[in-house]
């Protein structure tokens, strides 16, 4: 369970009616679940409390990200603190945000398979360059990830993702044909780390220079674990 004083960062998306709320710890350790106002939320108290807000129409929970779809929301920053308060209050209550019964078994197995590859094979490769990749959702043949540390805001991150991570995951998992980056790269360099990794390169924002590994700009060829820490508040929640 997440610790006290949960940090939450709101991130707008290309869709003005969607906003991602990224926590500094996992809400769900596997799978991805979605709820609308018509869903049975008896065993999903976090979704119920968020959908009780009149301006929320859909809730998706995956990993450490809660993605909300609004109902004619005009300004996410204006409601971000209220949303952050609802999320924080529910998680700190000690009650599971979503029970095991709610999770779809098939989807969770696929999520676990991709997540293990990222944690065990991909992240060890990019960790030496200060990077980390986090899986948030797998659906319809697509795996949705964020790129943290030195990979966030790096101009070569798309090369790392497509030539390194995507080619590796797609070759290993038949059900996945694309990796989708949902990172907010505009937040700058190294927002997730409070201090550089011991082996972090000085060759660029990803630790990438002309001599970086063949997998891409963040040094990923096949892809070691690294953790991320949240510091921001893009949609008004802290």
Identify the pLDDT of residue 107: 62
Question: Looking at the domain assignment, is residue 46 inside a domain?
Answer: yes
Q: In whole angstroms, what is the distance from residue 145 CA to residue 152 CA?
A: 12
Domain that holds residue 73: 8-102
Question: Looking at the domain assignment, is residue 88 inside a domain?
Answer: yes
Identify the pLDDT of residue 193: 33
Whether the Cβ atoms of residue 127 and residue 222 lie closer than 8 Å to each other: no
Angle (CA) 52-65-46 rounded to 5° is 30
Question: Looking at the domain assignment, is residue 79 inside a domain?
Answer: yes
Identify the pLDDT of residue 80: 93
pLDDT tens digits along 138-192: 777 888 888 777 676 666 677 777 778 888 898 998 888 888 887 776 654 544 3
Question: Looking at the domain assignment, is residue 38 inside a domain?
Answer: yes
> Widest CA span of the chain, in angstroms?
54
Mean pLDDT over all residues of the chain? 73
Identify the pLDDT of residue 198: 36
What is the distance in angstroms between the CA of the first residue and the CA of the last residue of the chain? 19
Identify the pLDDT of residue 225: 36
Task: Of 6-15, 79-88, 120-129, give the range with the top mean pLDDT.
Answer: 79-88
The CATH number of whichever domain residue 30 belongs to comes to: 3.30.1370.70
Structure tokens belonging to residue 159: 């090369």
Number of domain units in the chain: 1
Question: Looking at the domain assignment, is residue 115 inside a domain?
Answer: no
Confidence of residue 86 (pLDDT cuts 50, 70, 90): very high
List residues bridging with 18 in a β-sheet: 69
pLDDT tens digits along 33-77: 778 888 888 888 999 999 999 999 999 887 788 989 999 999 999
Question: Looking at the domain assignment, is residue 233 inside a domain?
Answer: no
Whether the Cβ atoms of residue 57 and residue 67 lie closer than 8 Å to each other: no
pLDDT tens digits along 15-45: 899 998 988 887 876 566 778 888 888 888 9
Phi-psi sector, 200: left (phi>0), alpha (psi -120 to 50), beta: beta
Q: Which residues of 103-138 are buried (b: 16+ CB within 10 A; e: fewer)?
A: beeebbebbeebbebbbebbbebbbbbbbbbbbbbb
Whether the Cβ atoms of residue 22 and residue 9 lie closer than 8 Å to each other: yes
Question: Looking at the domain assignment, is residue 56 inside a domain?
Answer: yes
Whether the Cβ atoms of residue 11 and residue 19 lie closer than 8 Å to each other: yes
Identify the pLDDT of residue 53: 96
């Amino acid at each position: 369970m997440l610790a006290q004083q949960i940090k939450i960062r709101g991130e707008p998306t290309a869709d003005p009616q969607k906003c991602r709320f990224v926590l500094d710890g996992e809400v769900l350790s596997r799978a991805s679940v979605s709820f609308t106002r018509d869903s049975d939320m008896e065993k999903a108290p976090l979704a119920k409390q968020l959908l009780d807000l009149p301006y929320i129409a859909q809730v998706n929970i995956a990993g450490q990200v809660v993605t909300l779809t609004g109902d004619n929301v005009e300004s996410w920053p204006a409601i971000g603190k209220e949303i952050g308060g609802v999320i924080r209050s529910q998680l700190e209550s000690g009650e599971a945000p979503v029970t095991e019964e709610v999770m779809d078994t098939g989807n969770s197995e696929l999520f676990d398979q991709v997540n293990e590859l990222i944690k065990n094979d991909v992240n060890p490769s990019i960790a030496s360059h200060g990077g980390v990749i986090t899986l948030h959702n797998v659906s319809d043949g697509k795996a949705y990830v964020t790129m943290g540390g030195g990979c966030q805001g790096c101009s070569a991150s798309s090369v790392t993702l497509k030539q390194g991570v995507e080619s590796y995951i797609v070759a290993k998992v038949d059900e996945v044909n694309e990796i989708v980056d949902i990172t907010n790269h505009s937040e700058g360099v190294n927002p997730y780390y409070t201090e550089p990794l011991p082996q972090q390169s000085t060759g660029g924002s990803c630790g990438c220079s002309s001599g970086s590994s063949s997998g891409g700009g963040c040094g990923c060829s096949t892809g070691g674990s690294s953790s991320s820490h949240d510091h921001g508040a893009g949609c008004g929640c802290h």
